[in-house]
Amino acid sequence: MNIHRIYALLSLFFALSMICKGQPYQRIKNGIKTEVNTIEVEIQYYTPSTVRILKWPSGSTFTKKSLSVIESPQETVFTIHQSGNELVLRSKEVQVALNLKSGSISFLTATGKSLLREKEAGISFARFNDAGVKTYTVGQSFVLDKGEAIYGLGQQQQGKMNQRNDILHMIQGNTDDYIPYFLSEKGYGLYWDNYSPTLFVDNPDSTTFKSDVGKCIDYYFMYGGNAHGVVAQMRDLTGQVPMLPLWTYGYWQSRERYKSQAEIVGVVKRYRELGVPLDGIIQDWQYWGDNSHWNAMEFLNPNFPHPQEMVNEIHAMHAHMIISVWASFGPKTKQYEVLNKKGMLLDFKTWPLSATDAWPPDMSHPSGVRVYDAYNPEARKIFWNFLNKDLFSLGIDGWWLDSSEPDHLDVKPSDFDDQTYLGSFRKVRNAFPLMHVGGIFKGQRSTSSEKRVFILTRSMFAGQQRYGANTWSGDVTASWNALRHQISAGLNLSLCGIPYWNSDIGGFFLTRFPRKLQDANYRELYTRWIQFGAFCPMMRSHGTDAPREIYQFGKKGDVIYDAIDKYINLRYSLLPYIYSTSWNVTAHQGSMMRALVMDFAKDKNALDINNEYMFGKAFLVCPVTQPMYSKEEVQGNDTIKVGDFSQIKSAEVYLPKSTNWIDFWTGENYKGGQTIRKETPIDIMPLYVRGGSIVPIGPKVQYATQKKWDNLEIRVYPGADGRFTLYEDENDNYDYQKGKYSTITFTWNDAKKDLTIGSRQGEFPGMLKARKFLIVLVSHNKGTGMNPIEKYDKVVMYTGGRVSVKL
């Protein structure tokens, strides 16, 4: 008899004995089940630090398989103690206290420190008819500490880090995407596992999730001790993050849209001629031709006569190409015909509304475009099979999933009655992007392991990090406020466990800049946005109304051009750091964009800062989010904005406590816990490195894999002990999952000024057997910015064995 069978019999014995003794609960595997005030309550440990809570009206039954949670409960040791009306479950990490009179639940640390509690009488079940199915509108309220900061809830364009005193109508949109989850500065998180439209309300009285549809209340409480720990718990529940290819971390150019094969190939050629690094080009919509053939996944547009030749030319220039794919199909496409016959198309209005491209849409000629049922596994396979046959077979490198929420226009309540494979559209509305993105990931993984899946998606939901996806913030309108709002949008999403995010550099729409690129204020905004983009998981320029290629902003020697070029090259110099950080995301549940609460939770001054963040563990990034170098000037009858660089301006920067900070550009050393001013000429974004950091600097290249990392500059930033692991593999494919990769760990002893380069661990085909490490101890004007170093402190010939260096 195995241990699991013994455990099951013991659990049954305890359950029966409790019932015989008149105990008010039943012990189940990993938890208990009871009834309080006509509500069934189930408390189940998933791990010693993660607890699932289920509640439903007595007498009702349901079956639920989570779309987001893929982890199974681990066998967890816990005790049960009853004192009066309180039943306490205790694991080695978390206590759960159930009030047997009111039914409310409290969560505490193992030592009894209060973390979160449900509000007394804070539960609601209201009968609801969901397209003929009898169900409930469900809600649960919680009580947070006064002044307690919380984060997450997906991505919103409101510029807030701390999500207290918020009211959010959580339904997926173009620029606002939602996850019913929050993370507390106290080191716990809560995931409300429901996919229907949900109202989140936080006020001084309570914090509430209320969802339109649910057979039950279902949520997970996670205690991680700190923000990183909670993110790790969320990933444990909903899926780990696969590695993206190295080339995805280079620079990407796009526009709405390249209108011909010659144009898109010409852009790559121009970058190569200029010597400006580029790794990717993106083809947006309408390569398929007219709207009746919307998303045909074929180059039916006569301006793209030889698609295979086009892809080959781009690859020959060592660039990659991804392409726009939608979740909807025009009535004359092959996909529409197949899906429609099988009843796998949804019936609400989506983009485009008209069969013509005229604006506003001509509704006398409706497009007939319909969204496919991404909840249906067969429909997802059909989608991938067409994508594979018509685009992946050409060598397309990745997928730009536009309208992946999807677009839902002229919304009517009856639209939500539309039936999907999993029930009403209302029931599963917010999980559409998860199912859509997941279908493409699984389709490509089943087809090939030679090329890592890379998906750029406009929308997301809990668990999407497991699908090789990078979310962008939607079609934002260019403005200084929009730039600032991107920072908190990306950080809050990262705190939801989804680490890969980016925005349209420069903003998608230029409606506030009628002179477009001729407006000096916009040119300044674009430059600041590209500086921010250099420190995002993906660096991608995109937009409509005006093209954004670097040469649209002048030529070498022009102030704006040179500033853009500088940050593209800076991005490439940091690729060894960025790729190693991506390994930390995959292997150790790390985060690339880190809200300050992740590293400085004890610094109250840092908790609500919405314009600074850590990029990996080393860099404090402080984007400039206000204009400094444009002024109004009268020219003829017009008042226009012109550039004025006659005076250097400055920006205010807060340096968090508990460490020292070194100016990346000058090497100056500052004590944390203070606000300083940093001079910010147009080519300088405030950038500080935490004391104790070790940062590898890569070679000057035109694309990510042009040169091997055989002469890496290793910058050591003094002020604290430090550690950094350099990760390398084949840069693409899934061999790393078979252990084909290597790591080299650098350790810095600040007191002794010793740098230890550890023995190389692991190996992979093509690995460097011998290399140089060019070591520099950063100081004032030494090892700073992108300045060449005349003489390094040490040059180490490294062949894989441990080396100790005295600096």
> What ranges in 239-342 are assigned the alpha helix state H?
261-274, 307-316, 334-341
Distance of CA 740 to the CA centre of its chain: 26
In this structure, what token pair is assigned to residue 630?
């444009």
Catalytic: 790? no
The H or E element spanning position 562 is helix 559-573
Q: What's the half-sphere exposure (Cβ side, CA atoms, 13 Å) at 476? A: 31
For the residues of 460-499, what is the DSSP string, one character each?
--TTGGGGSEEEE--SPBPSHHHHHHHHHHHHHHHTTT--
Asked if residue 553 lies in contact with residue 260, where contact means CB atoms within 8 angstroms, the answer is no
Residues 6+ apart with CB under 8 A from 99: 36, 85, 86, 105, 106
Active-site residue identified among 218, 402, 524, 603: 402
CA angle (311, 313, 314) in 5-degree steps: 65
Tokens 């982890």 found at: 71
CA angle (479, 485, 490) in 5-degree steps: 130
For the residues of 697-721, what is the DSSP string, one character each?
E----SSTTSS-SSEEEEEE--SS-
Burial string for 247-271 (b: 16+ CB within 10 Å, else e) reads: bbbbbbbbbbebeebeebbebbeeb
Of 181, 182, 180, 176, give the one whose Cα is nearest residue 155. Answer: 176
If DSSP codes are grouped into helix, strand and coil, which group holds residue 228?
helix
Catalytic: 212? no
In this structure, what token pair is assigned to residue 361?
């849409």
Catalytic: 176? no
In this structure, what token pair is assigned to residue 309?
């030749």
Active-site residue identified among 290, 475, 683, 750: 475
Report residue 11: phi and psi, to 5°. -60, -40
In this structure, what token pair is assigned to residue 172?
């997926």
The 3-state secondary structure of 46-106, one letter per residue:
EECCEEEEEEEECCCCCCCCCCCCCCCCCCCCCEEEEECCEEEEECCCEEEEEECCCCCEE
Determine the Cα–Cα distance for residues 292 and 663; give it in Å rounded to an integer. 55
Residue 180: exposure state from Cβ atoms within 10 A (0-12, 13-18, ≥19): buried
Active-site residue identified among 212, 313, 405, 603: 405
Asked if residue 280 lies in contact with residue 249, where contact means CB atoms within 8 angstroms, the answer is no
Listed as own residue / partner, the contacts of 561-564 with beta carbons closer than 8 Å and 24 or more positions apart are: 562/683, 563/527, 563/530, 563/531, 563/682, 563/683, 564/526, 564/527, 564/530
Determine the Cα–Cα distance for residues 199 and 210; give it in Å rounded to an integer. 5
Which amino acids are annotated catalytic?
402, 405, 475
